[in-house]
Chains A and B, each alone.
Chain A
Amino acid sequence: NAGVTQTPKFQVLKTGQSMTLQCAQDMNHEYMSWYRQDPGMGLRLIHYSVGAGITDQGEVPNGYNVSRSTTEDFPLRLLSAAPSQTSVYFCASSRQAYSNQPQHFGDGTRLSIL
């Protein structure tokens, strides 16, 4: 099993450009989420999904869109990139949206916006 796969691993964008960060999991997990990691701030939740067709906002959703058309995939879209969105982005999944379920993380996408 590949687990949680994120693509691309690195990306440089110009301000105003749009792009999609891909996330796929092969564990048939219901729950998927996106975090951003910034120095000294830990990981902050952007959006999450408790199943196909269901998404909701996390702590820092502004500037990002998500959709969940299949169980496996949970892409994150930046509509108009801003320098403040320079960060490392992690996708995670867990079997179900219960509080005692550990989350499995991808290796991250390192995004720089100039």
Chain B
Amino acid sequence: QVKLVQSGAEVKSPGASVKVSCKASGYTFTTYNIGWVRQAPGRGPEWLGWISTKSGSTNYVQKLQGRVTMTTEASTSIAYMELRTLRSDDTAVYYCARLDRSGSSWPDWGQGTLVTVSS
């Protein structure tokens, strides 16, 4: 079955960077695109961006342009999300999710990675 397994929790200082990984299994990695979503404590999900696992094309939410980079490694079926110049309001659970073929919904999610930004 489809599984998305993310890297473990991170604690970072303001101004640092974090890189979260998402290893996919149970399907051909390059046939489905990957998105990243975060959820701050007590808040709704926030879509962060999308990457084509075939071409590497990306699209990021406007507010994170310049601070976020999404990449994939097809040989290992891993997607990465790097966020730089971390601030306290970046504290959240970060999820990777598989986009369905039509691009309409996110049927499969990773377990989430808690990123805490604190001095």
Partners in one complex: no
